[in-house]
Chains A and B, each alone.
Chain A
Amino acid sequence: DTGVSQDPRHKITKRGQNVTFRCDPISEHNRLYWYRQTLGQGPEFLTYFQNEAQLEKSRLLSDRFSAERPKGSFSTLEIQRTEQGDSAMYLCASSLRDRGRVKGNEQFFGPGTRLTVL
């Protein structure tokens, strides 16, 4: 399967614990995005990487959140000191930034990691 994969698919944790999620993008894609989706809402942008550089972060991303993409391939999203309000689906997407052609920012999404904070 050459799609975007995310691990774990589900995570249940207690308030105050740290959690880390992993995203593996489509192999040739140089852009990687994180979104958060709460129940009954559309996804909201959190941050994105071009290769290993984190180029934009939403104000939704508090200082408890950190994301990395150390080698420009997979990415991790860590939440420290989780709160009940962090319960959501965390979606990863990837796309190919190609200066030679208009790719139209077609983002391919993974299945998501559902986080439940008790």
Chain B
Amino acid sequence: AQSVTQPDIHITVSEGASLELRCNYSYGATPYLFWYVQSPGQGLQLLLKYFSGDTLVQGIKGFEAEFKRSQSSFNLRKPSVHWSDAAEYFCAVGAVKAAGNKLTFGGGTRVLVKP
């Protein structure tokens, strides 16, 4: 069974500082990997995704993530955080060949941005 772990429940970062959110997954084959962001009371917005190829993927809002197969990780980074980045971030894994390709999400990391 696939699973996702986001070790950090909360992260506080100063505006302008860099941000890194950790994600570790467990899946027996080639995964699809995603990062979503959720603002309070809102649905999920896709930031970026990894299917294959270049292990460093660029997303929206200046985010990037690096897939490291040897570490089963897909960490999200942003060089300089803006106050509007305060939200909850979810890492998710989807099976490449399983029927339906349902997503399995981590527990989320809530990011607080200090002025």
Q: Which of A's residues lie within 8 Å of B, judged by CB?
A: 4, 31, 33, 35, 40-45, 48, 50, 55-56, 91, 93, 95, 102, 104-112, 114
A111–B42 CA distance with the chains assembled, in angstroms: 5
Contact A109 B108 (CB under 8 A): no
Given contacts A48-B100, A111-B42, contact A105 B105 (CB under 8 A): no
B102 partner, pick from A56, A108, A111, beta carbons under 8 A: A56
A55–B105 CA distance with the chains assembled, in angstroms: 20
CB proximity to A under 8 Å, residues B60-91: 90
Given contacts A33-B102, A109-B43, contact A41 B107 (CB under 8 A): yes
Contacts of B17 in A (CB 8 A): none
A63–B103 CA distance with the chains assembled, in angstroms: 22
Contact B108 A41 (CB under 8 A): yes
Contact A42 B108 (CB under 8 A): yes
Give the shortest distance, in Å, between A90 (CB) and chain B (any CB).
11
Give the shortest distance, in Å, between B105 (CB) and chain A (any CB).
3
A105 partner, pick from B44, B90, B103, B106, beta carbons under 8 A: B103
User: 22 A-B Cβ contacts within 8 A?
Assistant: A33-B102, A40-B107, A41-B108, A42-B4, A42-B90, A42-B107, A43-B44, A45-B102, A45-B104, A55-B99, A56-B100, A91-B43, A95-B101, A102-B51, A105-B103, A107-B103, A109-B36, A109-B44, A110-B43, A111-B42, A112-B43, A114-B41
